[in-house]
Structure 1
Amino acid sequence: MAVDPIQTPPPPPPRSNTYLFSDPLDSHPLWFKPDLFLSPNFDSDSYISELRTFVPFDTLRSELQAHLTSLNHELIDLINRDYADFVNLSTKLVDVDSAVVRMRAPLLELREKIEGFRGSVESSLVALKNGLEQRSEAAATREVLELLLDTFHVVSKVEKLIKELPSVPADWSNGDVNLAEKNVVSNGSIENGTNVRETQSMLLERIASEMNRLKFYIAHAQNLPFIQNMEKRIQSASLLLDASLGHCFVDGLEHRDESVIYNCLRAYAAIDNTSSAEEIFRTTVVAPLVQKIIPHGPSGVAVGTSGDGLENDYQEIKTCINKECKFLLEISSAENSGLHVFDFLANSILKEVLSAIQKGKPGAFSPGRPTEFLINYKSSLDFLAHLEGYCPSRSSVTKFRAEAIYNEFMKQWNVGVYFSLRFQEIAGALESALAATSLIPVHNSHSGHWNSQDLTLKQSITLLESLRSCWREDVLIFSCADKFLRLTLQLLSRFSNWLSSGLDARKMGNTSSNSGYEWAASAVPSDFLYIIHDINCLVTEICGGYLDDVLQLLSSCSIDILDLVKQSILQGGKSLNGLTPLVINAITESLVDEAVKGLKDVKAIATTFRMTNKPIPTRHSLYVSGLLTPLKKVYIIFFACNCCITL
C-alpha cells in the first residue's frame, strides 16, 4: 500500500528591504509630530526652519501632503457619520453652543449698525423728498406766476393794439373816399386807401395771433382768480377783435383786395373762427347774388317765381360764382397758404343756395312730380360737380362731401319716394296689360325706337316698354340702379309667372272669371303662335341690345358688378325662353281638341251607305276638311309670323 507524500506549503513571498529596515506604511517619521499643529503657539515658519536642517524639503512636503490626505479622509468620515446632525444643526455637534454664542455677538453688532444706517438713509430720503417737493411746488408756482404775467402782458398788448384801430370801423370802407377829398388826385387816394386797409388787416392779424396765445394761457389757468378777474377785459377785447375783423373783411371783399382778404383769413384761422368768415362771405357776397336768381321774401314766401325748375337757376348761379366768388376761392385754396381750414364752397355758397331753394322753390324737392323731380335732381348733381371743380385736390373734394351742409342738401332729395312712384308707374302698366281677359294682338305698333313693332301682343309690348322704362335717361337715377335692376328682374319674373300660371290653369281647367287666367281659356292656337313669336323676340332683345344698353349705363361699375348684372338678366331671359315648350304643348292640345270635334261625322258614313243606294263616293267626306281646317289656320299664321317653330 503506497503512502502519499506530504505536500509542503508554498514558500512566502520574499520580503523587501523597506519591510525589514524602514517604518510601517501607516506610521509617520519620528521627526513628524502632528500634535504640534494643534498647539495654540504653533508657527509654521519656525516649524519649517527647525526641520530644514536635517529633513529635505521634498520629504517634508510629501509628509505634509500625506497628512493632509489623511485629514481629508477623517473629515469625510466625520461628516458622513454626523450628517443628519449637520443638516439639522443639532446641538449634538461638538461645541455648537459655544460657536453660536461667538457668532451672535458680531451679528447683533452688525444688526445695530445696519439699523442705524437704515435710519440715517430714511431720514436723508425724507429730507430729499421734501426738498424735491418744495422745489416742484416752487417751479409750479413760478410757472403759474409766469403764465399770469404773460397773460397780463398779452391782454395789455391786445388792448393797446386795438386802440390803434379806427374808432369807427365803418370809416375803413370809405377810407379811400375821405382821402380823395383831402387829395386832389383820385389814383393817389385809392392807393392810400388800399395801404390803410392793408395796414389795418396786418394789425388785425397780429392781434389775432396774440389772442391765440391768450386762449392758450387761459386754457392752462382758467380756474385761477386772477384769470377770472380779467375775464371781462378778455371778452371785451375778443368782441372788439371780431367786430373789427368782420368790418375789415367786408371792406376787403367789396374792394377785392387780395392782401387784405388774405390777412383777414389768416387772422380768422389764428383765432379758430372760420365760421364767422364763411358766414360773412355768405351774407355779403353770395346772398345778394342768389336772391336775384331765386327771389324770396324774408318770411320764406316765394316772390315772383314761375315754376319749381332749377336747371336755369343753377346755370345763372354758376356764372355768378365764376365772376364774383372765384377770386376768394382761389385765395383760400392757394398752395401753402394755410387757409385750407375754410370751406366757402359748402358753408357759404351751397348753404345759401339750399336756403334760397327751400324758401323760394320748396316744390323743387317734392318727388310727387317724378319728371320735374328728376330734372332738378340731376341739375343739382351737376351743380355739385361744378362746385367740386373748384377743389384743388381729392382731399378737398372728400372734405367738401363730408360737410354737414352737403349731407343736408342731399337729404332733401328723397330718391326712395321717387323710386316708389316710378315702381308703381312701371309695374302698374304691366299689371294692367296682364289683367286683360284675353290676348290682344297689336299689328304695326310702333312704340319708340326699340323695334317693338316686331312684337304682336299688347302684353309683350308692354313688358318690353316697362323693361326699357327702367333704364331710360328720364327715369333712371344712378344711385338707385340696384333697385331698378331688381325691378327689371321682377318684371321678367312676373311675365313668366303670368304665362306659366295661365297655361297650367288651362291644362287643369281652372279658368274661371275670378281666377285671373281667363285669357288662357279663350286663347286659340293662333294666339299661342303669337306668344311663341313674342317670346323669341323678347329673349333676343333682352339678351342682346337691351343687355348691352344696361351694361353701357353701368360702365362705371366694377367688372364683378357688371358680371353679376349680366348673369341676372341672362337668367331672366333664359327662364322666359324655357316657357316655349309649354306653349307648344298647349298648341298641340288645342289642335287635337278642335280636330276631334270633326270626327263626330265619321259615325254617319256607314249608316249613309248602308241605308241608301248612293253611289260610291268620289271625293273626301266632310269630316276630312274639319280635321284639317285647324291645321290650315295655324299653318297660315305660322308663316305670316315668320316663326321657325317645329310642332
Structure 2
Amino acid sequence: MASLVATLPSPSSAPRSASDFFSDPYESHPSWFKPSLFLSPGFDSESYISELRTFVPFDTLRSQLRSHLASLNRELVDHINRDYADFVNLSTKLVDIDAAVVRMRAPLLELREKINGFRGSVEAALFALRNGLHQRSDAASVREVLELLLNTFHVVSKVEKLIKVLPSTPSDWRNEDDNSLGRNSMNDEIPTQQDGTTMRETQSMLLERIASEMNRLKFYVAHAQNLPFIENMEKTIQSASVLLDASLGHCFIDGLNNSDTSVLYNCLRAYAAIDNAKNAEEIFRTTIVAPFVHKIIAHETSADAAGTSGDELENDYKQIKHFIAKDCKMLLEISSTDKSGLHVFNFIANSILKEVLSAIQRAKPGAFSPGRPTEFLKNYKASLDFLAHLEGYCPSRSDVTKFRAQAICTEFMKQWNVGVYFSLRFQEIAGGLDSALTSASLVFIQDYDSDKPISRNLMLRQSVSLLESLQSCWKEDVLVFSAADKFLRLTLQLLSRYCNWVSSVMNTRKSNANPSPGCEWAVSATAEDFIYIIHDVNCLVSEVRGDYVGHISHYLSSCSSEVLDVVRKSMLQGGESLENVLPLVTETIIEVIVDKSVEDLRQLRGIIATFMMPNKPLPVRHSPYVIGLLSPLKAFLEGDKARHYLTHETREELLLGTVTEISRRYYELAAELVSEVRIIDNY
C-alpha cells in the first residue's frame, strides 16, 4: 500500500481540468483518434493501426497512443484514490479462500467425470447409429442397382420377344401364313388376323409397344452407365434399336401409302416414345413430299428451258397448296390432335417447307435473286402467302410461334435479301428524280393528259418526277411491307432533295455564283419561270397532305395506331418543308421585278443636271421615269401566267413586297441625290 500511495500524484502535479484556459485538456484528441473503438468487442489492434497509418504518420500515432496510455494510468489512480477505503477492506474480507476453493473443487471434479463418461457412451451410440445408417444406405444403393439391372434385363428380354414376331418387310405383313403366326409366343397379346389392314394395324400397335419398352430401356441404361452388365448388353440394345427404327419406318411408309389413320397414329406415338421425331419427318419428306415437289419443279424447269416462263413461284405454290390439302392434311391433323402427345412433330416446317426450299434452291435459284426486282418481289410475296397458308394448319397461336422459330423457317426467310432489293429500288427511284433535278434547264410539260393526276396540275418535269418517285415508293409492285420504314425514309429523302433543289436555285439566282448542277437555268430565268415553281410546290403540298397520306395509311393499316400517327406526322412535316421554300421563291420573284423596275430610276440623277442649268423653268410635270417605274410589276401581275397559276394571296404578297422594295430603293437613291445637292450648295 505504501508503494501505491507513493505513486499518487502530488497536488502540484494534479491533472488539469478540461476547462483549463492555459493548456489543452487531457481529454482532447484529434478527430481521427477515437478511444471508444478500443472498447468494441471486435477491436483488432493490427487492423486499426494499419488503417490509421494510411493517413497518419507513425510518430504521431505512437505519440498519441502514449498520451492516451498516460491518461488511462492517471484515471486508474484517480479511481483508486476515490475508493481507497473499499480497496483496503477488500483484502481483509478475503479470509480462508483456499479452503473454500478445495471444498468446491471436489464436487466439480466428480461432475466432470460423470459428464465425460456420459459423453463417451453417447459418442459410441452415435457412431454405431451412423455406421448402421451407412450400411443401410449402401444396401439400398446396391438393391437399387440390382433392381435396375433386373428391370433392364426384363425389358431387354421383352423387347427381344416382341421383335421376334415382327415381319422384316411390309410385304411379309400381307403374306404371312399360319406358320409364321405360329411363331408368335405371345398369342394372348397380339391379334392374329390375316387381313392386310388388320395385320398392318396390329404391327403398328406392336411397334408402339416396343417403342414404349425401348423408352423404358433408355431410361434404365442412362441410370446404370459404366456397369459391366449394361456394357455387355449394349450390342443387343443397339441391334434392337436399329431393327425397331427399320421396322417402324416400313410400317410408317406403308401407313402413308395406304392412308391408314390408325397405323399413322400408332407409328407417330412410337416415334414420340423413342424421341425420334426427326426420322418420321424425314420419311414423310422423302416418301410423300419430295416426289410431288420434284415433279412440279422439274416440270416448271423444263418449261423455263422452252422459254415459256421464268423463275416464278406463284404457280408452284398453288399446286403445292392443293397437294397439301389433298395428301398431307390427314397426317397434319393427326399430329396436331389435342392432348395426343404428338406436339413434338413439325411436318409443316421440317418436311414440307424443307423440301420446297431444297427444290427451289436446286431448280430455281434465280427466284431468290433481287437483281430482277419485279420478279423478286412477286416471288417474295408469293412465298409469304405460302408461309401464311402453312401457318393456317397450326392449331394454335403457340404452334404458329413454334413454326416461325424453326431453323428451316429462318433459313427460308434468309434467302430473300430484302436489303439488296431495297437498295436497287432506292437507286431506281432516287436516280430518276436526281437525273431530272440535275437537268441544265427548266423542263416544261407541253402536252399532257388531263386524266392523269400527275400531269393534270404540275407544270414542270422536275415536279412530276418527284411525284412519280413518291408514288413509286408505295406501289404494290414495289413496296415490301417488312421494309416499309425504309421506304418511308426514302419518301422523306425525296421531299428533302426537291426542297434542296429549289433552295439551291434561289440562292444561285441571288448570289450569281457558279451554279451547281441543275441550277444553271436560274441565272437567266424570268419571273414567269418561278411562277411554275410556286404553282408546283403548292400542288405537291396539297397532294402530300391529302391523298398521299391516306394512300400510305391504307398500306400500313395493319400497324398500330401509334405507328400510323408517327407516319402521318412525318408526312405532314415533309409537306411543311415544301411550304418553307415558298418564301424563297417569292423573294426571288420580287427581286427580279425590282431589278427590272429600278432601271428607270437611273434617270433620277438627271434632276441634278437640270437643276444646275441656268434659265431653266420650274418643273410642272412628273419625270419621265415615273411612268415606267411600276410597269414591270403591272405587266407581271396582269399576265396570263400570274392570273392562272398564282392565288390571290400570293399576288397580293408579291405586290406588297415589290412596291415596298421599289420604294426603299427610291428612298435610298433620292436621299443620296439630296445629299449631293447639299454639298454642291455649300460650295
Q: What's the % identity of the aligned pairs?
A: 65
Alpha carbons of structure 1 residues 240 and 302: separation in structure 2 relative to 1, 3 Å: farther
1:62-105 deviation line (CA, Å, top 9, x unaligned): xxxxxxxxxxxxxxxxxx9998799x9x7952332222111111
The residue identity in structure 2 corresponding to 1:108 is L
* Correspondent of 2:270 among 254, 267, 271: 267
1:641 aligns with 2:621: no
1:197 aligns with 2:200: yes
The residue identity in structure 1 corresponding to 2:375 is E
1:161 aligns with 2:165: no
Cα distance in 2 for residues equivalent to 1:91 and 1:246: 108
1:196-218 deviation line (CA, Å, top 9, x unaligned): 00000000000000000001011
1:151-180 deviation line (CA, Å, top 9, x unaligned): 11111111110011013344347779xx9x
1:302 CA drift (Å): 9.0
The residue identity in structure 1 corresponding to 2:113 is E
Partner of 1:361: 364
Alpha carbons of structure 1 residues 375 and 323: separation in structure 2 relative to 1, 3 Å: same
The residue identity in structure 2 corresponding to 1:341 is V
- SS of 1:639 mapped into structure 2: helix
1:226-273 deviation line (CA, Å, top 9, x unaligned): 111111001000000000000000000000000000000000000000
The residue identity in structure 2 corresponding to 1:637 is K
Partner of 1:526: 528
Cα distance in 2 for residues equivalent to 1:105 and 1:453: 126
Cα distance in 1 for residues equivalent to 2:225 and 2:463: 79
Q: Is the 8 A contact 1:281 1:348 kept in 2?
A: yes
Cα distance in 2 for residues equivalent to 1:286 and 1:517: 63
Cα distance in 2 for residues equivalent to 1:332 and 1:448: 57
1:438 CA drift (Å): 1.8
Cα distance in 2 for residues equivalent to 1:477 and 1:257: 43
Cα distance in 2 for residues equivalent to 1:243 and 1:267: 13
* Correspondent of 1:332 among 335, 338, 346: 335
Partner of 1:95: 96
Q: Is the 8 A contact 2:439 2:517 kept in 1?
A: no
1:446-475 deviation line (CA, Å, top 9, x unaligned): 498544421001111111111111111111
Cα distance in 1 for residues equivalent to 2:593 and 2:441: 19
Alpha carbons of structure 1 residues 282 and 190: separation in structure 2 relative to 1, 3 Å: farther
Cα distance in 1 for residues equivalent to 2:124 and 2:92: 42
Cα distance in 2 for residues equivalent to 1:199 and 1:190: 8
Cα distance in 2 for residues equivalent to 1:219 and 1:175: 37
Q: Is the 8 A contact 2:148 2:220 kept in 1?
A: yes
Q: Is the 8 A contact 1:470 1:488 kept in 2?
A: yes
1:356 CA drift (Å): 0.5
Partner of 2:564: 562
Cα distance in 2 for residues equivalent to 1:538 and 1:430: 15
Alpha carbons of structure 1 residues 301 and 547: separation in structure 2 relative to 1, 3 Å: closer
- SS of 1:406 mapped into structure 2: helix
- SS of 2:567 mapped into structure 1: helix
Q: Is the 8 A contact 2:294 2:359 kept in 1?
A: yes
Partner of 2:7: none
* Correspondent of 1:504 among 504, 507, 511: 507
Partner of 1:18: none
The residue identity in structure 2 corresponding to 1:636 is D
Alpha carbons of structure 1 residues 119 and 85: separation in structure 2 relative to 1, 3 Å: farther
* Correspondent of 2:489 among 465, 486, 490: 486
Alpha carbons of structure 1 residues 128 and 335: separation in structure 2 relative to 1, 3 Å: same
- Higher mean alpha-carbon deviation, 497-506 vs 402-411, is at 497-506
Partner of 2:583: 581
Give the total of aligned pairs: 544
Alignment of 1:232-631 (within 5 A): 232-295=235-298, 306-446=309-449, 449-512=452-515, 516-597=518-599, 628=631, 631=634
Alpha carbons of structure 1 residues 590 and 144: separation in structure 2 relative to 1, 3 Å: same
Cα distance in 2 for residues equivalent to 1:190 and 1:139: 47
Alpha carbons of structure 1 residues 261 and 624: separation in structure 2 relative to 1, 3 Å: same
1:335 CA drift (Å): 1.6
- Higher mean alpha-carbon deviation, 403-412 vs 625-634, is at 625-634
Q: Is the 8 A contact 2:168 2:247 kept in 1?
A: no
1:147 CA drift (Å): 0.4
What TM-score does the superposition give when structure 1 sets the normalisation length?
0.78
Cα distance in 1 for residues equivalent to 2:234 and 2:141: 23
Unaligned runs of 5+ in 1: 1-79, 180-188, 611-617
The residue identity in structure 2 corresponding to 1:640 is H
Cα distance in 2 for residues equivalent to 1:144 and 1:83: 79
Cα distance in 2 for residues equivalent to 1:324 and 1:481: 37
The residue identity in structure 2 corresponding to 1:338 is G
Alpha carbons of structure 1 residues 84 and 450: separation in structure 2 relative to 1, 3 Å: farther
Q: Is the 8 A contact 1:347 1:405 kept in 2?
A: yes
Cα distance in 2 for residues equivalent to 1:103 and 1:149: 69
Q: Is the 8 A contact 1:443 1:453 kept in 2?
A: no
Cα distance in 1 for residues equivalent to 2:258 and 2:549: 58
Alignment of 1:121-160 (within 5 A): 121-160=122-161
1:113 CA drift (Å): 1.2
1:334-372 deviation line (CA, Å, top 9, x unaligned): 122211111100000000000000001000000000000
Cα distance in 2 for residues equivalent to 1:476 and 1:543: 20
Cα distance in 2 for residues equivalent to 1:471 and 1:259: 52
Alpha carbons of structure 1 residues 136 and 85: separation in structure 2 relative to 1, 3 Å: farther
Q: Is the 8 A contact 2:297 2:316 kept in 1?
A: yes
Cα distance in 1 for residues equivalent to 2:407 and 2:465: 44
1:523 CA drift (Å): 2.0
Cα distance in 2 for residues equivalent to 1:256 and 1:223: 44
Q: Is the 8 A contact 2:159 2:213 kept in 1?
A: yes
1:592 CA drift (Å): 2.0
Alpha carbons of structure 1 residues 215 and 429: separation in structure 2 relative to 1, 3 Å: same
1:515 CA drift (Å): 5.5
The residue identity in structure 2 corresponding to 1:330 is E
Alpha carbons of structure 1 residues 446 and 366: separation in structure 2 relative to 1, 3 Å: farther
Q: Is the 8 A contact 1:437 1:516 kept in 2?
A: yes
1:304 CA drift (Å): 7.3
The residue identity in structure 1 corresponding to 2:96 is D
The residue identity in structure 2 corresponding to 1:111 is R
1:564-606 deviation line (CA, Å, top 9, x unaligned): 1111110110111111111111111111223344667899999
Cα distance in 2 for residues equivalent to 1:297 and 1:233: 49
Unaligned runs of 5+ in 2: 1-82, 181-191, 614-620, 655-683
What TM-score does the superposition give when structure 2 sets the normalisation length?
0.74
The residue identity in structure 1 corresponding to 2:295 is K
Alpha carbons of structure 1 residues 549 and 643: separation in structure 2 relative to 1, 3 Å: same
Alpha carbons of structure 1 residues 156 and 569: separation in structure 2 relative to 1, 3 Å: same
Alpha carbons of structure 1 residues 122 and 596: separation in structure 2 relative to 1, 3 Å: same
